[in-house]
């Protein structure tokens, strides 16, 4: 009975915490306003800086053409697109070479040196070849609207951003994606106190980022050491954000909305591979932490349902508060509204991914894109 009371009290506190953070973070994580007309953009960016859009790609044959073609269609005059083919074996390079555009440069990948994660090595090489004043790293499974680049640069220049990350709209086309991908949105708005991270230097370790879209002022990026400074990081996006905060500069998180779309994973099995790697890295793949987190998320999801007959009022309050949080999350990121009602499944599957990541690390089977990440697990601990 005592354990049940403690859990009920903790869940009640968690709901209040989620609600407070939701409203604070929505205000802090601004949505970029779309610049719709090219002439309007040219007037507001009369001295538009050169931008290098950098795309690391490994085995992205299905995604690479829509991605690159959308980037080359930007309503922005002063930019280049550089794609690094990271030793793809599925015909990605052939697709890239079929595109004839002077603004596109294709780099043939080299073998990844010891001590480097593959994506970090690709981004490091992309940055070395970039001519732009600003670097924008974009994942190969994204598709951009023509107004993405001018809208982003207007926002970056207006707020004098040296480093930041944009959250795209995640396309979810299967039930498995609906109960896995939204956990990331919930984390951005309802778990991590982003609204404080740029104000309190001690909270720099709680910096957030998403590697699907990251922007840096080039000189500042190189002053940090770039991707070479986080070469072994499994979650290099968060590692770079933390590096920025430790330097004393703010790291901006913003919402791209409809300007950029991404389909992270295709089905629940694909999501399990990706999230087990990234979620596990948050806790250093430690069994104790991942197991406790899994149990907690399961209790958070199921206790209000199981206790409904005996603690009806409490259950209604918790369910209502949780639903309100998810309605806010769904609205902020343009996710399907059904996600708000699937949140218990989102919690449970995400808890499983945490434990599954530790299991794979223990068994020596942790890998991504055909490469083992096991050598880097100890460095995450």
Structure tokens at 56: 């690391």
Mean pLDDT (the chain, rounded):
88
Report domain extents, the chain: 2-26+269-369, 29-267
Q: Between vectors from CA 136 to CA 130 and to CA 141, what angle results, nearest 5°?
A: 110
Listed residue (193, 224, 56, 196) closest to 136, CA to CA = 56
pLDDT at 67: 97
Q: 312-333 and 2-28 helices cross at what angle (nearest 10)?
A: 20
Instruction: For residues 51 and 65, give the distance between their C-alpha atoms in angstroms, rounded to a whole number.
Output: 20
Q: What's the average model confidence in pLDDT over 29-39? A: 74
Query: Helix, strand, coil: what percent of the chain each, to 5?
Result: 55, 15, 30
Give whole-number Cα distances, 58 to 122, 140, 258, in Å: 9, 8, 25
Q: Is the dihedral of CA 221, 225, 229, 231 positive or negative?
A: positive
pLDDT at 375: 54
Q: What's the average model confidence in pLDDT over 27-55? A: 76
Instruction: For residues 124 and 118, give the distance between their C-alpha atoms in angstroms, rounded to a whole number.
Output: 10
Instruction: For residues 139 and 166, give the distance between their C-alpha atoms in angstroms, rounded to a whole number.
Output: 12
pLDDT at 356: 81
Instruction: For residues 192 and 24, give the distance between their C-alpha atoms in angstroms, rounded to a whole number.
Output: 11
Asked if CATH classification 3.90.550.10 holds for the domain at 29-267, the reply, yes or no, is: yes
pLDDT digits (tens, 9 = 90+) for 198-209: 877 666 666 789
If pLDDT is split at 50, 70 and 90, which confidence band does 34 have? confident
Listed residue (136, 157, 135) closest to 35, CA to CA = 157
> At residue 185, does pLDDT exceed 90?
yes
Percent of the chain with pLDDT over 70: 88
> At residue 297, does pLDDT exceed 60?
yes
CA 107 to chain CA centroid, nearest Å: 25
CA 361 to chain CA centroid, nearest Å: 22
Residue 325 DSSP class: H
Instruction: For residues 8 and 30, give the distance between their C-alpha atoms in angstroms, rounded to a whole number.
Output: 34
Strands 134-138 and 371-372: what pairing? unpaired
Strands 142-144 and 79-85: what pairing? unpaired
Q: Between vectors from CA 72 to CA 66 and to CA 76, what angle results, nearest 5°?
A: 140
pTM, full prediction: 0.91
Structure tokens at 84: 């690094």
If pLDDT is split at 50, 70 and 90, which confidence band does 372 have? low
Instruction: For residues 328 and 323, give the distance between their C-alpha atoms in angstroms, rounded to a whole number.
Output: 9
Give whole-number Cα distances, 168 to 42, 102, 187, 218, 378, in Å: 24, 27, 15, 22, 31
DSSP class per residue in 128-164 = HH--SSEEEEE-TTEEE-TTHHHHHHHHHHHTT-SEE
pLDDT digits (tens, 9 = 90+) for 305-337: 899 899 999 999 999 999 999 999 999 999 999
Listed residue (120, 181, 167) closest to 368, CA to CA = 120
H or E element in which residue 248 lies: none
Instruction: For residues 344 and 303, give the distance between their C-alpha atoms in angstroms, rounded to a whole number.
Output: 10
């Amino acid at each position: 009975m005592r354990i049940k009371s403690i859990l009920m009290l903790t869940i009640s506190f968690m709901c209040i915490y989620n609600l407070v953070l939701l409203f604070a973070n929505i205000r802090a994580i601004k949505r970029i306003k779309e610049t719709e007309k090219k002439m309007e953009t040219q007037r507001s960016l009369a001295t538009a800086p050169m931008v290098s859009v950098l795309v690391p790609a490994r085995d992205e044959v299905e995604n690479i053409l829509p991605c690159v073609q959308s980037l080359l269609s930007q309503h922005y005059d002063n930019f280049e697109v550089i794609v690094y083919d990271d030793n793809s074996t599925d015909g990605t390079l052939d697709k890239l070479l079929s595109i004839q555009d002077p603004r596109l440069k294709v780099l043939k990948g080299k073998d990844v040196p010891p001590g480097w994660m593959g994506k970090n090595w690709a981004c490091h090489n992309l940055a070395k070849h970039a001519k732009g004043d600003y670097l924008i790293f974009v994942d190969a499974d994204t598709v951009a609207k023509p107004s993405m680049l001018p809208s982003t640069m207007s926002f970056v220049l207006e707020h004098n951003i040296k480093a930041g990350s944009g959250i795209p709209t995640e396309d979810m086309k299967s039930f498995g994606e609906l109960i896995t991908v939204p956990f990331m949105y919930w984390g951005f708005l309802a778990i991590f106190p982003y609204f404080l991270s740029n104000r309190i230097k001690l909270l720099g370790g709680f910096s957030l980022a998403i590697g699907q879209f990251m922007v840096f002022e080039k000189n500042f990026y190189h002053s940090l050491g770039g991707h070479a400074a986080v070469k072994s990081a499994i979650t290099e996006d968060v590692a770079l954000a933390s590096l920025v905060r430790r330097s004393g500069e703010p790291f901006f998180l913003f919402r791209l909305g409809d300007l950029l779309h991404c389909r992270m994973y295709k089905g629940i099995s694909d999501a399990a591979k990706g999230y087990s790697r990234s979620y596990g890295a948050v806790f250093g793949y430690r069994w104790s932490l991942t197991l406790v987190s899994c149990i907690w998320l399961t209790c958070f999801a199921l206790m209000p349902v199981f206790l409904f007959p005996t603690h009806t009022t409490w259950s209604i309050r918790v369910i209502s508060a949780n639903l309100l949080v998810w309605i806010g999350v769904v609205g902020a990121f343009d996710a399907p509204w059904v996600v708000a009602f699937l949140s218990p499944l989102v919690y449970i599957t995400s808890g499983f991914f945490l434990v599954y990541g530790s299991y794979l690390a223990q068994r020596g089977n942790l890998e991504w894109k055909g490469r083992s990440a096991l050598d880097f697990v100890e460095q995450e601990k």
